[in-house]
Amino acid sequence: MDATPDFAEIVREHQAMVYSLALHALRDSAAAEDITQDVFLALHQNLGRLESPSHIRHWLARVTSHRCIDEIRKRGYRRGPALEEVGEPGRSDANGDPLLRQRLRQMVAALPAPARLMILLRYQEEMELAEIARVLDVPVQTVKSRLHRALGLLREKMGRQTAGVQEARS
Amino acid sequence: MNPVDPFERQLREVFRRVEPPPGLEQRILRRVRPRQPRRLPPWLAVAASLVLVVGGSLGVMRWQERQHRQREAERVRQQLALTLEITSRTLARADQRLRSIGVERIRLQEVSSWQEY
């Protein structure tokens, strides 16, 4: 199939989703671009089998997520320490939200690969649990429990960090 | 997802979609559509074909002419050889006749000279 206007339109419509998922998962813009290009190349080869715009979106989210998980596992990919090891904010973090936001990104990047993608599919793409389960090929209950556990840990860490910031401000 | 939960709101803000790097779309399309080998413009392909056809035809015609001339030359050579052969035989016969006539005349002269005696 040629790179027809239809395919170019699909790229234009979905490249932000694919790139953002990869970037947030890997925290590496070069790796994110490589994955994005590979995913769309695979899409081009499989486009004849996809039946609708929603099918295309689902397919892209699925392939991107799996590529990210594979990449994370292959490299033993960690940006920063494991979640439990992420330090509490000190007084220096009282400079405000940008640091808290950065710390939140670090905490999510410290999660295990599947949990990381669950968080991203939930909060970047606003997917429901059932759709996340289909994208990641896991039972809905697995998504529910892992997401719940990850959010609990993140809240706990962020709660302590937020309290630390507020204390620094007061 | 609880839209009013501040923590979840914060997660949505932190992990919202980002703009892809400039030119990403073009890089993707270039990979999907590799550069095609340059093709001759149609008129050039037709002209090249015509040159080949005409050149080939001319070559064949010249070869045929040369063959024809060679055959003609051979035919003439054979005719000449035949003519020479015929002429040679004719001359040989004539010579023979003349020789035989020459002998009789001498004899006749001899006879007549005898008669004079």
More confident of the two residues B100 and A22: A22
Minimum distance, in Å, between the CA of residue B43 and any CA atom of chain A: 26
Structure tokens at A16: 């932000």
A86 against B42, higher pLDDT: B42
User: Of the residues A77, A101, A135, which one is the last residue of a structural domain?
Assistant: A77
* CATH code where residue A38 lies: 1.10.1740.10
- Looking at the fold, whether A148 and A166 belong to one and the same domain comes out as yes
Whether residue A158 sits in one domain with residue A94: yes
Per-residue pLDDT at A119: 98
Q: Which residues of A touch B15 (CB under 8 A)?
A: 20, 24, 105, 108, 119-120, 123-124
| Mutate: best of B28, B33, B36, partner A, most A CBs <10 A | B28
* Number of independent structural domains in chain A: 2
Specify the pLDDT at position A1.
Answer: 45
* A23, closest residue in chain B (CA to CA): B18
What the block records as the tokens of B47 is 């002209």
The residue with tokens 């980002």 is B18
Measured CA to CA, the distance from residue A81 to residue A111 in angstroms comes to: 10
Q: What is the ipTM of this complex?
A: 0.82
Please report the sign of the dihedral spanned by the C-alpha atoms of residue A46, residue A48, residue A51, residue A52: positive
Spatial CA neighbour of B14 closest among A145, A35, A97: A97
Same structural domain, A22 and A51: yes
CB of A109 closer than 8 Å to CB of A27: yes
A146 and A159 fall within a common domain: yes
For residues B9 and A88, the model is more confident at B9
For residue A81, is pLDDT > 60?
Answer: no
Residue A89, pLDDT above cutoff 60: no
- A102, A38: one domain: no
Which of the listed residues A43, A77, A111 is the one where a domain comes to its end?
A: A77
Residues A2 and A53 in one domain: yes
Confidence of residue B26 (pLDDT cuts 50, 70, 90): very high
Instruction: Compute the nearest-CA separation of B23 from chain A (Å).
Output: 11
- Structural contact between residues A119 and A108, judged by C-beta atoms closer than 8 angstroms: yes
The winner for highest mean pLDDT among A148-157, B57-66, B108-117 is A148-157
Q: Confidence class of residue A9 from pLDDT cuts 50, 70 and 90?
A: very high
CATH no. for residue A169? 1.10.10.10
Bigger pLDDT: A145 or A85?
A: A145
CA–centroid distance for A122 within its chain: 9
- The first and second tokens of residue B27, run together, are 């890089």
List of residues 6+ apart from A23 with CB closer than 8 A: A29, A32, B18
Chain A: give the shortest CA distance to residue B35, in Å: 12
Q: What is the three-class DSSP state of A98?
A: helix
Compute the distance between CA of residue A107 and CA of residue A83 in angstroms, rounded to an integer. Answer: 5
User: Which secondary-structure segment (H or E) carries B57?
Assistant: helix B42-116
CB contact under 8 A, B15 and A33: no
A106 with A96: CB under 8 angstroms?
A: no
**Predicted local distance difference test score (pLDDT) of residue A62:** 98
DSSP character for A91?
Answer: G
- Which residues 6+ apart lie within 8 Å of B90 measured at CB? none
Across the range A117-138, mean pLDDT stands at: 97
Q: What is the pLDDT of residues A33-65, one digit of tens each?
A: 999 999 999 999 999 999 899 999 999 999 999
Please check whether residues A33 and A58 belong to one and the same domain. yes
pLDDT digits (tens, 9 = 90+) for B55-105: 888 888 898 899 889 999 899 999 988 888 888 888 888 888 888 877 666
Question: Which domain-ending residue is among A28, A51, A77?
Answer: A77
- Say if residue A109 is exposed, middle or buried (CB neighbours under 10 Å; 0-12, 13-18, 19+): buried
Same domain, A88 and A46: no
**Same-domain check for residues A56 and A108:** no
CB atoms within 10 A of CB B116: 6
If asked whether residues A53 and A126 sit together in one domain, one would say: no
**Domain assignment of residue A69, given as a range:** 1-77
Q: What pLDDT, on a 0 to 100 scale, did the predictor assign at position A93?
A: 42
Q: Indicate the residue of B7, B16, B20 with minimum beta-carbon distance to A15.
A: B20
Rounded percentage of chain A residues whose pLDDT exceeds 70: 79
Evaluate if residue A100 carries a pLDDT over 90: no
